[in-house]
Structure 1
């Protein structure tokens, strides 16, 4: 049976703004308070989705969240009508209003961790929504994320959904941004690679000193247990604390993997040789020929990797067995990174082509091509069981483009977040979107 890796890209929400909310994310902090363009951001994301669809890849869409999150503000003591809640929050606690307006759910690599049916004990595709409890503005996402994923992957014969882990520091979980799966073919048993920044209970693991390590070993282990993964099918590796302190807040900022290949920076991990040997051995036992490409620090410094998002790229398998690397425009703008990429594609290795996309609106807030997509490996039967409304087609692309142009503002500043009309605009847009994507009632305003 044929299998696919489907990329479900997050639609950028109508409240896309530069709030500078993500401590440890260099781009997010450095562009704080600038005016954003939600319409351009959403259209840039849609253009990338369409390009992959046109290249023959199966492409899906993941809906944004309702923002501002008035229910979250009410839980923090702001009372009255929706408009009064927003007005009071703007007056008394603007940072909380900004957090409640964040469109960070666009980076759906953080939405969940996904294990394909070939790896799980019960032969179903498993989803665990990420609690994202390191940052308040992201910690409020997982209830809606769970409902949206449940509406997309509703058939319990093929799909299993788990609630987010306990929302405490010991189980900080950032989803697929710290998870990669290696395999010979997408439909065959593979090895799932969990990368953590610290251990909550074992002091033998070093921790970063400047920025927080968002993913814990204990969270990764819990997800592996929930998904019914075997010991032979998992590898746990620690991110280098020194690179976390340089702005590598997730593993997908310093490494990307696909199929039998791991593409990573020389300084990405601790105990790199031991980790690579474990991956090689476990994949060999499953018939796969694991390879790694280590980018030397003397060719691309960690700082260049962070600023260009070289590794926050999409690594895609083509029909001829070669791989395509999808990178942001910032890679071409960085002379050292672009020189490295030119040599990479002519070296005769598995990565044969690089395609560049303009994702400036997302990049300025700290998210590149890899942040914008959740990868789900599906066989033909499972793909047929996915809600067809979320699979991109030329007609759906045209519909979503028109929807964005109809509902999104072309400029948004912090002061605009205090406008109650923005909430009404967002709800009107999302109500229409759920009909377009055939999701049913997934947002609080539709349910309550």
Structure 2
């Protein structure tokens, strides 16, 4: 069996809008009430996936969840339109950020030699708390091969779990036994810490991980207060490399020492705060990047164009590339519509180490499928949505029809 890292990007849904529902996500709240462009957003996502395939990387995708979710509003005794925030929550397209879909432990790390996935309960934010039933249903289809995958139900809502956005994995290579790092929060000033330590520990137990190959690390409260609502806004790992901001973790030196003690080959690439401040890191989403190993073995950092255009960030990246570090290429991508709602390249993807042949092939992307998806998006996704439009029955019907059409085209009627 050939284990590879497959990035499963979320297709941006036709209900993509800027309602500003995510407390602590500075971009989302800053752009609240602005007009969004679902068609452009989804096409930017398709182009990002095409670019990864052109680099020689396996690429999968996950699909928009059914929106508006009328049952969510009904369960709260609310008709759509009665309460603007609950209405917006029922319309939220936030499942596009599949880094929050689940926590994934590859087969080399687990006791039974299977890849384990636990959908995130996302209870910290009401607009995301109703995602998991449909996410679970989709994961059960995409990773339905029970010889290779185990799908768990989410951690009980007693403890908030945000999925892979607060989880990192390091290994000498993707197919080897790894070190799984669970990052939780305790406080963040005015902003909530979304990942609970007990949720992280529960996932590690459910996945039957080797206790000697796990770390539980506290996120720096200052990072949360600065707008790093998930760990992946200030740190990202790939194989033996951890790329991190100096202020990512509450106990910086203790975290680095623990990583090195369990994985002597680890390389830590740290961006000092005096070169790129926390505020600039959050604004540019430098760390909300895809750190990937290309087929030739070179490690590349796929960053949003906003990071490439930031003066301090660009200066630091140029100095890094001029050195002899493990990250040898920087590749900017345009995901501006997602960025304006608080999600960069890393938010848009769920990393799964598996043999691509064991995944339901309807979720594996190729150029032909990407072409067909782009045509469907151009024809059916709304060009723009004003948050005031979220009470429109006509728009709701268009959004439902657009998603259903895409699922039918991809021969996934079981998800309609």
Q: TM-score range by the shorter chain?
A: over 0.9
Match of 2:296 in 1: 320
Q: Which segment drifts farther, 174-183 or 344-353?
A: 344-353
CA distance in 2, matches of 1:164, 1:416: 33
- Once the two structures are TM-superposed, the CA of residue 2 in structure 1 deviates from its matched residue by 3.1
1:399 aligns with 2:372: yes
- Could you report, residue by residue, the CA deviation over 1:50-108 in whole angstroms, capped at 9, with x for unpaired residues? 01011110000100111111111111114xxxxxx4xxx31x21111111111100000
CA distance in 2, matches of 1:435, 1:193: 38
- Once the two structures are TM-superposed, the CA of residue 432 in structure 1 deviates from its matched residue by 2.3
Aligned counterpart in structure 2 of residue 252 of structure 1, from 224, 229, 232? 232
- Could you report, residue by residue, the CA deviation over 1:132-173 in whole angstroms, capped at 9, with x for unpaired residues? 0000000000000000111101111111001111123xx110
Aligned counterpart in structure 2 of residue 304 of structure 1, from 280, 295, 316? 280
Aligned counterpart in structure 2 of residue 185 of structure 1, from 139, 149, 173? 173
CA distance in 2, matches of 1:33, 1:332: 27
Partner SS state of residue 150, structure 2: strand
CA distance in 1, matches of 2:304, 2:403: 28
CA distance in 2, matches of 1:248, 1:182: 21
CA distance in 1, matches of 2:84, 2:248: 37
Match of 2:134 in 1: 144
- Could you report, residue by residue, the CA deviation over 1:243-283 in whole angstroms, capped at 9, with x for unpaired residues? 11111100000001100000000011012212112111212
CA distance in 2, matches of 1:297, 1:173: 28
CA distance in 2, matches of 1:437, 1:125: 25
Partner SS state of residue 118, structure 1: helix
CA distance in 1, matches of 2:412, 2:235: 33
Are 2:56 and 2:295, in contact at CA under 8 Å, matched by a contact in 1?
no
Q: Which 5+ residue runs of structure 1 have no aligned equivalent?
A: 79-84, 199-206
Partner SS state of residue 14, structure 1: coil
Equivalent residues, number: 416
CA distance in 2, matches of 1:417, 1:156: 40
Match of 1:263 in 2: 243
- Once the two structures are TM-superposed, the CA of residue 422 in structure 1 deviates from its matched residue by 2.1
Are 1:151 and 1:440, in contact at CA under 8 Å, matched by a contact in 2?
no
- Once the two structures are TM-superposed, the CA of residue 320 in structure 1 deviates from its matched residue by 3.1
CA distance in 2, matches of 1:232, 1:433: 44
Are 2:55 and 2:294, in contact at CA under 8 Å, matched by a contact in 1?
no
- Could you report, residue by residue, the CA deviation over 1:347-376 in whole angstroms, capped at 9, with x for unpaired residues? 111111111111110000000000000000
Match of 1:425 in 2: 398
Match of 1:350 in 2: 326
Are 1:11 and 1:63, in contact at CA under 8 Å, matched by a contact in 2?
yes
Partner SS state of residue 426, structure 1: helix
CA distance in 2, matches of 1:2, 1:139: 35
- Could you report, residue by residue, the CA deviation over 1:292-346 in whole angstroms, capped at 9, with x for unpaired residues? 0111111000000000000000000123332110011111221001111111111
Aligned counterpart in structure 2 of residue 108 of structure 1, from 87, 98, 112? 98
Are 2:14 and 2:403, in contact at CA under 8 Å, matched by a contact in 1?
no
TM-score (ref. length: structure 1): 0.91
Cα RMSD (Å): 1.1
Are 1:153 and 1:387, in contact at CA under 8 Å, matched by a contact in 2?
yes
TM-score (ref. length: structure 2): 0.98
CA distance in 2, matches of 1:435, 1:38: 20
CA distance in 2, matches of 1:439, 1:146: 15
Match of 1:62 in 2: 62
Match of 2:164 in 1: 176
Taking the TM superposition and a 5 Å limit, the aligned residue runs for 1:19-418 are: 19-78=19-78, 85=79, 89-90=80-81, 92-168=82-158, 171-198=159-186, 207-284=187-264, 289-379=265-355, 383-418=356-391
Partner SS state of residue 40, structure 1: helix
1:4 aligns with 2:4: yes
Partner SS state of residue 112, structure 2: coil
Are 1:20 and 1:32, in contact at CA under 8 Å, matched by a contact in 2?
yes
CA distance in 2, matches of 1:216, 1:42: 31
Partner SS state of residue 362, structure 1: helix
- Once the two structures are TM-superposed, the CA of residue 440 in structure 1 deviates from its matched residue by 3.5
